[in-house]
Structure 1
Amino acid sequence: MASCLALLLVVVFTVVAVLLRNTSTGVIFQTSDQVAMIGIGVLLACGALLFAAPLARADADGIEVRNVLLTRRFSWQEVLSVSFPDGASFARLELPDDEYHSVLAVQAVDRDRAVEAVRALRRLHKQARD
């Protein structure tokens, strides 16, 4: 979905940039304006692609969670539980002091894959805590 949106943004901004020269608004658009419009499209596309970057890697020692920009590693000893609350869009790691960390890589729209991912994370968590 993110790559389709990124492609759409680049195409739309490129088309707008090409059509800028042919407007009768009285404003004079230069080649630099056209290049800037395409550049804005590329920047917005890169921003859209950031939402395709979430990742969760778990092993016997802990879990590494990369959301949109930041990556954090948690040992299983730090994690109280792995949950997926009703109505939530993402799974989350319950942490001490009523804190939690969202796991954007496990999304509700993935349905069965999300269920399997949460079950696998819970198994790893249980094995590490026992």
Structure 2
Amino acid sequence: MTPELNAVVFRPKKIRRVAWACAVGLIAVFTVVGLLLGNTPTGVIFRASDQVAMIVLGFLLAGGVLLLTRPRVTADASGVDVRNVVTSHHFEWKDVLSVSFPDGAAWARLELPEDEYISVMAVQAVDREYAVSSVRALRELHKAARS
């Protein structure tokens, strides 16, 4: 079998929907506030640049929230690629001791030599059955590659 045939890709489910809803909400709120900023009874004078800056701030915050949609894990017979919010790592299966999901943990992790581990933020506890099936699939690939 070629590695491409049994490749799997997992991305978080619930956090993606929540992040997109929050991003849209942030843009809407900051746009409304930016447009209404010029009409204040406080005596403070807001210029058009202040209004534009408020709207741009909403887009920047929305972009920051959308970083939570970035996690992904891609695995095949040769190894696993883990992309979290800011970092990416590639591991050969021979370098991974196990795939675990500790009790109370928010996401799965790859156990590495010397008591190190890497979090797999793409497999989150809030996704319940999807997380269980994802960990099982990763464990099967790990087991097949190590035997």
- TM-score between the two structures when normalised by the length of structure 1: 0.98
For 1:32, what is the secondary structure of its paired residue? helix
Q: CA deviation at 1:24?
A: 1.1
The residue aligned with 2:90 is: 73
Unaligned runs of 5+ in 1: none
Alignment-mate amino acid for residue 25 of structure 2:
L
Asked whether 1:45 is paired with 2:62, we answer yes
The residue aligned with 2:11 is: none
Q: CA deviation at 1:10?
A: 0.3
The residue aligned with 2:111 is: 94
Output one character per residue of 1:103-122: Cα deviation in whole Å (capped at 9) or x when no partner.
Answer: 00000011111000000000
The residue aligned with 1:112 is: 129
Unaligned runs of 5+ in 2: 1-17
Moved over 3 A (4+): none
Asked whether 1:55 is paired with 2:83, we answer no
Q: CA deviation at 1:94?
A: 0.5
Please give the root-mean-square deviation of Cα atoms over the aligned residues, in Å: 0.6
Q: CA deviation at 1:53?
A: 1.0
Q: CA deviation at 1:25?
A: 1.3
The residue aligned with 1:2 is: 19
Distance in 2 between residues matched to 1:39 and 1:96, nearest whole Å:
45
The residue aligned with 1:27 is: 44
- TM-score between the two structures when normalised by the length of structure 2: 0.87
Output one character per residue of 1:75-123: Cα deviation in whole Å (capped at 9) or x when no partner.
Answer: 1011110000000010000011111100000000111110000000000
Distance in 2 between residues matched to 1:78 and 1:32, nearest whole Å:
53
